[in-house]
Every structure is written in C-alpha cells, then in structure tokens.
C-alpha cells in the first residue's frame, strides 16, 4: 500500500499563454484523489480581479469532489491582494454560494462544514485599517475566517489587534524573491511551523517528518514537493506530461524518502517566525517548540543545536512549565560535550524545580565521574538508585558505579556493580572486559583470563580490541607465560601500533625470554613514541648490558637519569658497570 498523502497544496495561479483554463482544471482535478482527507489548498493569485474566474472554477471543482466523497474536508485559502471593497464582497458572496450547501450539511450533522474558505488578504501600503476591518467583518459574517498578509515593504502600524481569534492570523512576509515567490515562501514557512507545532503538541512524537505539501504552478504545470525548491525550478513532476497519475504517487514517495534537510528547515522556520509570533501574541508557542526541538536534537546528538534551543526557552520564558525537564536535558548536553562543571551547575538549578529526582542524581554521578572524583560519583549514583525511578537507565548507573570503583581500585565493589549491570546490557563485551580487569586487580588471574577472553568473543568494538589483547597479555605476563603474553601483545600492537604501554610490555616479555634484540627494538619504539620516557631508556640500557654492549648501555642509563634522576636501577647499573674491571 503506498504511504502518504498531500496535506497541503499550493497552487500558484500564474497562468501565462500555455494551456487553457479548462485543460488545467481537467488535469488538476486528477490530483484530488491524492489529497489527504483533511487537506489545505492555497490558491495564490496576483490579481483577484483578473484571476477570479479561475479561482472560482477551482473552488467549484473542489466542492464537486467533496460532494462526491463525504469523508473529505478541505480548507481553501484564497491568497491575494485586497481588491476594491465592492469587488471583494461580490467575489466572496459568490464563493459563499458555492460552499453554503456544506454549511447546511455541517449543521445537520452537528459538525463543522467540510469545506471552509479561509482567505489570506495581502494588505498593501495603500490599504487603510478601516477598509481592512470592514472586509474582515464581511468575511466573518459569512463564516470565512480571514487572515492578513503584510508584505515586507508595508507598515504593520495598527495591524496588531485586527485579528479576533487564534484561528485568524497575521502573516508577516519572511523571504525574498518575486512577488508570488515571496508569498509562496512565507506561506511555506508558516506551514512548516504549523507542522512543527502539531508535532510538538503530539503526545507521542515520532521523528519530525517533512511537510507533506506540494507546489503546483498553473503556468507550466510543474510540481514541486518542497516550497523551497519551487524558486530554483527543481520540479519533481509535471501535471501535463505524466503518463498516469499513479506515476505521481511513486514520484512523491521517492522524493519523500530523499528529504534530508527537513529538520534544518524546521529550525529555520522557528527563527524566521519570531516577529510573526510576536504580532500574533503566540510567542509562548515558540518556546514550547524550542523545547521539543531541543529534545529532538538531543536524540540526534546535535548538542550544540539543542543547547541553543534550551537557552532560548530558559532566557525568554522563565515560568516555562517543564523547566525541570529542560534543565535536565541541558545538563545532558553539557555532559556529552564534556563540560562537567557547567553540567553540574545546571543540575543544581534543575534540582530546585524537580527535587528528589533520581535522574538528576544519575547525571550528577556522571559529572563527578567526568571530573574524576570517583568517590563522589559512587555516592551520587547510589543516591539515584535509592530514589528509584522507572526510567532510570539502571544498566548505565551500575556500569558507571562499577567503573568508579575500578578507578579507585575497589575491584570487589567494581565487580559487584558490573555483575548487576550485566542483565541490562545486550552488548556484553565492555562489561566482561571490566570484569576481567577487576579479577586482574584482585589477582584472580584465571578468572581475569576467562572474562577477557569472553570480552573478545562478544564482538567488541574495534577500538577496544587492543586493550583487551593488552590485558590478556598482562595476565599471561603475571602468570609468567611470556610467550603467550607476546602473542596477545602482538595482536594488540597490530590493532593500535602507537600505544607505548604495549611496546613496553612486549619489551619486558622479550627480556624475560632473553630475546634481547627484540626487547631493545620494543623499547626503542616506546621512546620513539614518547622521547621523555626515562624508564624505557633505562630498559634499553639493561638489555644492551645483558648483550655485553656496555659502551652502548652507558649513554642509555645516563639519558634515563637525565630525564628522571629518581630511577634507582639505572643508577645501580651505572655503578655496577663502573666497578666492573675494564
């Protein structure tokens, strides 16, 4: 079953000399089955006096369609400059005659009319407020909810307060381009904003979808699936040249799947709408949207963008009802950006709004962990567990508590926490790795080997491979199994060649196996990686001395002592060499 339907259709009534009006209507009505059962159609006309017959015919066609299919409801928005008062009255009296049977039907069915005319009048500089008011009242009396569009060059003086309900809107022109394009773009931004608002108010929020709208130019029949692509002439289809209308459905679906900047467009609409919301007394809506957009950006790991939205709410709407949640999410953004101090300050503020919140204590635990105060981290995470909350990510809480214990070498407690975390994790490799470290710390080398091997089997992330092999090598080394150790250490080295500790441990194992050349080569690599590693110069010296290359060993010991005079065994070797008969 094909998905999707056209929820908003913008018809730019810019007919040139091409197809006749009748031809256009024939093709246009073919689009109707693809309209959503609750659709909005915008009829954008530059000059209503000239375009009236075509606008009227279009409304008539829509009414005929609705008469046939009583599960459809369509809002029609004629968008046009304000004509002479008498002309406007004549035009809308005519429209009223077309829709009046639907008003009667609505009354009998105790429902709103299935066809609504919601005009958007473009007020130009010459139009005085008195005229506007008379026209709006005339429309209201005929159950047509009017809105006003203010072009960029017109004054907004006296406009505020002209609309009487939240259904009546004032549209401030938002973008550039020619006259029709400006209209189109402004309506498009409003539409994106409305979709954003619907999404923000929905109890269950999926991902933010693209606006299900299309733009159709009467002049050439070009169809655009995004109002932003209309000015750049990137049409997705053409009304006149399609083989069949089912092609249209396929085309929309293909393009629907290719939308990738809808979230950016939504974000942009919010900032473009700033003045419009102010003049419509709808600023609070913007804060609510910023809140939900911020949350969506957190999900997409765009923490910079999320912080921008959260800060907008926190500075602009100090009595926002979800203040606690917003501060908590802001703290999470700071945490993810490793701004632990900022996160902590935000959490303290959040706590004033939602005291005794397990989530706050969980995040505080993460902050302390990030600040390497592991004892505090353990305390905060324990607090979170004591408070209890069904959405607390228990696995993560136990995991970070375990890591904190490991970091202060409380391996028994660390192991206990990792054991508790195990039931919550599907990817168990990191858990087994840290459990292996705990056993290693507790000197239970067999158990450590078991867990580190399990960590290897459970498909670890590539970046963790070298550490697992390294600690396996360390276990073998502690068991005196230097050849086995070298097998794992080589694997560790092959995965992450630039790690000094791997080469150092390899050098040690080669030394124990009396393979001094290989040992020297390993320690040489460590000092290449870290030229200030005094101990490794000393290690090179020891191996050279074992090989009998005393002359080469002496400068190595001296170099080591030069870097770190506290290396006792380098001094001892030098002293022994000095005492040896030459």
Partner 1 sequence: MNILLIEINPFIPPSTPISIAYIAAFLRWHGFHVNIMNIGENTPFSLHLLSSYICDFKPGLVGFSTYQRNILSVIGLANYIKSSDPKIKIAIGGPQATFMPSSALQPMGSIDYICREEGETALLNIALAIRDGIDNTVISGSSCKCEDGLFYDGPSVEAYSDLDRYPSPYLHNDLIDFSNLEEAILFTSRGCPYGCVFCYTPNAFKRKVRFHSIERVIEEIEWIYRKGIKKFWFADPSFSINIDRIDRLMEEVLRKNLKIHIWLETRADLVNNELVKKMKAAGVYLVAYGLESASKKVLEGLKKNISLNDMRRAIKLTQKNGIDVELFTQYGLPHENFGDAMKTLQFLKDNDVKIRGNSNSQQMQVYFGTDVFNSCQEYGVRPLERDMPAYMSIGRQYETEYLSSDDLKKIRLIWEKESLDGVKRKVS
* Cα(363)–Cα(397) distance, integer angstroms: 9
**Residue 27 and residue 39 in contact, taking contact as beta carbons nearer than 8 Å:** no
Burial of 463 (0-12, 13-18, 19+ CB in 10 A): exposed
**Cα separation of 112 and 110, whole Å?**
7
Q: Shortest approach of partner 1 to residue 214 CB, angstroms? A: 13
Measured over all CA atoms, what is the biggest interatomic distance in the chain, rounded to whole angstroms? 122
Q: Does 6 bind partner 1 (CB under 8 A)?
A: yes
Measured CA to CA, the distance from residue 404 to residue 245 in angstroms comes to: 63
Dist. CA 575–CA 58, nearest whole Å: 104
203 near partner 1 (CB under 8 A): yes
Q: What are phi and psi of 299, to 5 degrees?
A: -60, -35
Site for partner 1 in 114-153 (CB under 8 A): 114
Cα angle 569, 573, 578 (rounded to 5 degrees) comes to 145
Residue 320 binding partner 1, by CB under 8 A: no
Q: Does 319 bind partner 1 (CB under 8 A)?
A: no
202 near partner 1, rule: CB under 8 A? yes
582 lines the binding site for partner 1 (CB under 8 A): no
> Which DSSP state fits 541?
H
Q: How far is the CB of 59 from partner 1 (least distance, A)?
A: 19
Q: Does 1 bind partner 1 (CB under 8 A)?
A: yes
**Alpha carbons 473 and 560: distance in angstroms, whole number:** 26
Minimum CB distance to partner 1 smaller for 250 or for 457: 250
CA-closest candidate to residue 42, choices 180, 200, 202: 180
Q: Is 182 in contact with 175 (CB distance < 8 Å)?
A: yes
Asked if 466 contacts 496 with a C-beta cutoff of 8 angstroms, the reply is: yes
Measured between alpha carbons, how far is 189 from 228 in angstroms, rounded to an integer?
9
List the one residue from 141, 153, 319, 390 that touches partner 1 (CB under 8 A). Answer: 390
Contact 147, 194 (CB under 8 A): no
69 binds partner 1 (CB under 8 A): yes
Q: How many residues bind partner 1 (CB under 8 A)?
A: 34
Smallest distance from partner 1 to CB 249, Å: 6
Task: Return the residue of 16, 130, 157, 206 that touches partner 1, per CB under 8 A.
Answer: 206
Q: Is 366 in the site for partner 1 (CB under 8 A)?
A: no
Rounded least distance, CB 69 to partner 1, Å: 5
| Comparison of 38 and 258: residue with beta carbon closer to partner 1 | 38
Pick the binder of partner 1 from 16, 22, 71, 260 (CB under 8 A): 71
Binding mask 262-301 for partner 1 (x = CB under 8 A): ----------------------------------------
Q: How many residues does the chain have?
A: 582
Query: Exactly one of 198, 257, 426, 566 binds partner 1 (CB under 8 A); which one?
Result: 198
CB of 35 to partner 1, least distance (A): 6
Contacts of 396 (CB under 8 A, 6+ apart): 362, 421, 424
Q: Is 32 in the site for partner 1 (CB under 8 A)?
A: yes
Only one of the segments 145-153, 197-205, 546-554, 564-572 lies at the binding site for partner 1 (rule: CB under 8 A); that segment is 197-205
Q: Which is nearer to partner 1, 392 or 458 (CB)?
A: 392
- Mark residues 72-91: x for contact with partner 1 by CB under 8 A, - for none: xx------------------
Q: Which is nearer to partner 1, 104 or 352 (CB)?
A: 104
Binding pattern for the stretch 233-252 against partner 1, x by CB under 8 A and - elsewhere: ----------------x---
By C-beta, is 106 or 221 nearer to partner 1?
A: 106
Go through 42-64 and write b for each residue having 16 or more CB atoms within 10 A of its CB, e for each that does not: bbbbbebeebbebbbebbeebbe
| Residue 208 CB, nearest approach to partner 1 (Å) | 13
Binding segment (CB under 8 A) for partner 1, from list 106-114, 458-466, 486-494, 533-541: 106-114
Question: Which H helix or E strand runs over 413?
Answer: helix 411-422
* Alpha-carbon gap, residue 383 to 360, rounded angstroms: 10
Whether residue 459 contacts residue 433, with contact meaning beta carbons closer than 8 Å, is answered with no
Q: Do residues 80 and 48 lie in contact, with contact meaning Cβ atoms separated by under 8 Å?
A: yes
To partner 1, the closest distance from the beta carbon of 143 in angstroms equals: 16
38 is a contact residue toward partner 1 (CB under 8 A):
yes
Q: Judged by CB under 8 A, which stretch of 26-34, 81-89, 451-459, 520-528 contacts partner 1?
A: 26-34
Under rule CB under 8 A, residue 210 binds partner 1: no
Footprint on this chain of partner 1 (rule: CB under 8 A): 1-7, 32-38, 69-73, 105, 107-111, 114, 198, 202-204, 206, 212, 249, 390
């Amino acid at each position: 079953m094909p998905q999707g339907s056209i929820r908003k259709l913008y018809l730019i009534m810019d007919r040139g000399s091409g197809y006749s009006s009748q031809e256009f209507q024939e093709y246009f009505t073919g689009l109707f089955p693809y309209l959503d059962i609750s659709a909005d159609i915008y009829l954008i006309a530059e000059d209503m006096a000239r375009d009236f017959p075509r606008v009227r015919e279009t409304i008539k066609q829509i009414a005929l369609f609705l008469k046939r299919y009583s599960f459809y409801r369509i809002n029609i928005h004629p968008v046009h400059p304000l004509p002479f008062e008498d002309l406007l009255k004549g035009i809308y009296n005519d429209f009223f005659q077309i829709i009046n049977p639907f008003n009667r039907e609505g009354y009998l069915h105790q429902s709103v009319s299935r066809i609504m005319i919601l005009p958007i009048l473009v007020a130009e500089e010459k139009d005085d407020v008195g005229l506007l008011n008379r026209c709006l009242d005339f429309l209201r009396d005929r159950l047509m909810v009017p809105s006003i569009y203010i072009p960029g060059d017109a004054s907004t003086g006296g406009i505020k307060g002209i609309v009487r309900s939240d259904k009546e809107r004032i549209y401030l022109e938002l973008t550039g381009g020619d006259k029709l394009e400006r209209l189109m773009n402004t309506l498009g931004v409003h539409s994106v904003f409305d979709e954003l608002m619907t999404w923000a108010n929905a109890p269950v929020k999926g991902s933010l979808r693209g606006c299900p709208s299309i733009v159709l130019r009467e002049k050439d029949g070009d169809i655009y699936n995004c109002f932003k692509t209309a000015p750049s002439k990137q049409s997705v289809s053409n009304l006149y040249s399609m083989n069949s209308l089912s092609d249209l459905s396929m085309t929309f679906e293909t393009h629907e799947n290719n939308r990738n900047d809808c979230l950016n467009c939504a974000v942009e609409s919010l900032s473009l709408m700033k003045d419009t919301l102010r003049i419509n007394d709808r600023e609070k809506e913007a804060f609510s949207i910023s809140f939900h957009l911020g949350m969506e950006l957190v999900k997409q790991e765009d923490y910079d963008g999320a912080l921008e939205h959260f800060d907008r709410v926190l500075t602009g709407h100090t009595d926002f009802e979800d203040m606690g949640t917003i501060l908590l999410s802001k703290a999470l953004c700071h945490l993810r950006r490793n701004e632990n101090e900022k996160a902590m300050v935000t959490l303290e503020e959040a706590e004033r709004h939602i005291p005794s919140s397990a989530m706050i204590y969980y995040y505080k635990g993460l902050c302390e962990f990030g600040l390497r105060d592991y004892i505090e981290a353990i305390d905060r995470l324990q607090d979170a567990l004591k408070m209890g909350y069904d959405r607390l990510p228990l696995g993560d809480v136990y995991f970070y508590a375990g890591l904190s214990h490991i970091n202060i070498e409380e391996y028994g407690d660390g192991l206990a926490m990792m054991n508790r975390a195990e039931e919550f994790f599907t990817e168990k490799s990191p858990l087994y790795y840290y459990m292996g470290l705990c056993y290693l710390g507790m000197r239970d080398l067999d158990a450590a080997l078991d867990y580190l091997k399990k960590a290897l089997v459970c498909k670890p992330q590539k970046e963790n491979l070298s550490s697992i092999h390294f600690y396996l090598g360390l276990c073998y080394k502690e068991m005196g199994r230097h050849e086995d150790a070298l097998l794992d250490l080589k694997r560790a080295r092959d995965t992450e060649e630039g790690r000094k500790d791997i080469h150092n441990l390899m050098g040690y194992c080669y030394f124990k196996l009396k393979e001094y050349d290989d040992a020297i080569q390993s320690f040489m690599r460590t000092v290449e990686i870290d030229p200030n590693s005094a101990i490794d110069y000393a290690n090179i010296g020891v191996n050279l001395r074992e090989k009998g290359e005393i002359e080469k060993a002496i400068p190595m010991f001296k170099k080591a002592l030069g870097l770190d005079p506290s290396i006792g065994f380098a001094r001892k070797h030098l002293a022994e060499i000095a005492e040896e008969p030459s």
